[in-house]
């Protein structure tokens, strides 16, 4: 943890040891620990070991910190759908590509996705993020419906319930996956995909 900057050593741009990204990393940790509502800029300053004005040097408000932190999860999640492999090919394979990519974002951006999944929607910034998340989720639901219509997903399940269950399994990763645990990200990705795809296909 870098120590607080003193006025005499502070460079013109940013404080030594902190750029916007590392401020964000600390902010998302504190938001996840106490909840966004219960976190004050004073708590963030204490955690960073700097003054409140040093934080305001990087971001104008707590809301901006939240927005930037949520973008760390939402921008890569939204990008998945733009990939060629999400756009063409067999529907079940497009779905598998999207699920694999989602799992990777969850494991790589774990604290930011945790923040997103725990949002309560009390402010405009939160409601905007939840709406962007719903747009991502809706595209997956539409793919499950299409894959079922094309006979690539079992016909004895209701597609909306199935999609929520799938997301329940995938999203649980951010709650229990530990980067220093016994399973590698690749193993977790393969196990999750194996369970979901065979669950979707049913017994052949």
**CB-wise, 16 or 202, nearer to its own copies?**
202
Which span (54-62, 66-74, 88-96, 186-194) binds its own copies, by CB under 8 A?
186-194
Given candidates 20, 165, 179, 186, which one binds its own copies under the rule CB under 8 A? 165
Distance CA 141, CA 163 (A): 6
Question: Residue from 21, 64, 142, 187 that binds its own copies (CB under 8 A)?
Answer: 187
Nearer residue to its own copies within complex by CB, 146 or 170: 170
Q: Among positive and negative, which fits the CA dihedral 187, 192, 193, 199?
A: positive
- Least separation in angstroms between residue 201's CB and its own copies is 7
C-alpha dist (Å) from residue 14 to 5, 27, 43 = 10, 16, 20
**Contact characters 133-162, its own copies, x per CB under 8 A:** ---------------------x-xxx-xxx
Neighbour-count burial of 82, counting CB atoms closer than 10 A to its CB (0-12 exposed, 13-18 middle, 19+ buried): exposed
The CB-of-144 to its own copies minimum distance in angstroms stands at 11
Site for its own copies in 36-75 (CB under 8 A): 38
> Which residues have C-beta within 8 Å of that of residue 115, sequence separation ≥ 6?
28, 31, 32, 36, 66, 69, 70, 73
Rg (C-alpha) for the chain, rounded Å, is: 20
Q: CB of 14: closest distance to its own copies in angstroms?
A: 34
Using CB under 8 A as the binding rule, whether residue 200 contacts its own copies is answered as yes
State whether the Cα torsion 130-194-85-147 is positive or negative.
negative
In sequence order, the β-bridge partners of residue 15 are 18
Q: Which residues bind its own copies (CB under 8 A)?
A: 35, 38, 154, 156-158, 160-162, 164-173, 175-176, 182-183, 187-188, 190-192, 194-196, 198-204
């Amino acid at each position: 943890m870098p120590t607080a900057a003193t006025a005499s050593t502070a460079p013109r741009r940013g404080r030594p040891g902190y750029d916007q990204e590392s401020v964000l990393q600390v902010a998302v940790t504190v938001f996840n620990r106490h909840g966004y509502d219960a976190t004050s800029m004073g708590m963030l300053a204490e955690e960073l070991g700097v003054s409140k004005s040093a934080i305001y040097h990087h971001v104008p408000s707590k809301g901006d910190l939240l927005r930037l932190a949520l973008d760390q999860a939402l921008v890569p999640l939204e990008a998945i759908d733009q990939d060629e492999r999400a756009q063409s090919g067999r529907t079940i394979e497009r779905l598998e590509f999207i699920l694999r990519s989602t799992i990777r974002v969850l494991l790589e951006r774990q604290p930011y996705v945790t923040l997103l999944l725990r949002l309560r929607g009390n402010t405009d910034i939160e409601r905007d993020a939840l709406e962007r998340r719903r747009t991502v989720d809706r595209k997956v639901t539409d793919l499950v419906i299409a894959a079922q219509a094309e006979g690539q997903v079992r016909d004895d399940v209701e597609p909306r319930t199935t999609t929520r269950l799938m997301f329940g399994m995938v999203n649980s990763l951010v709650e229990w996956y530990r980067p220093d645990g016994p399973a590698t990200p690749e193993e977790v990705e393969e196990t999750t995909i194996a369970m979901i795809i065979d669950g979707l296909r049913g017994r052949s």
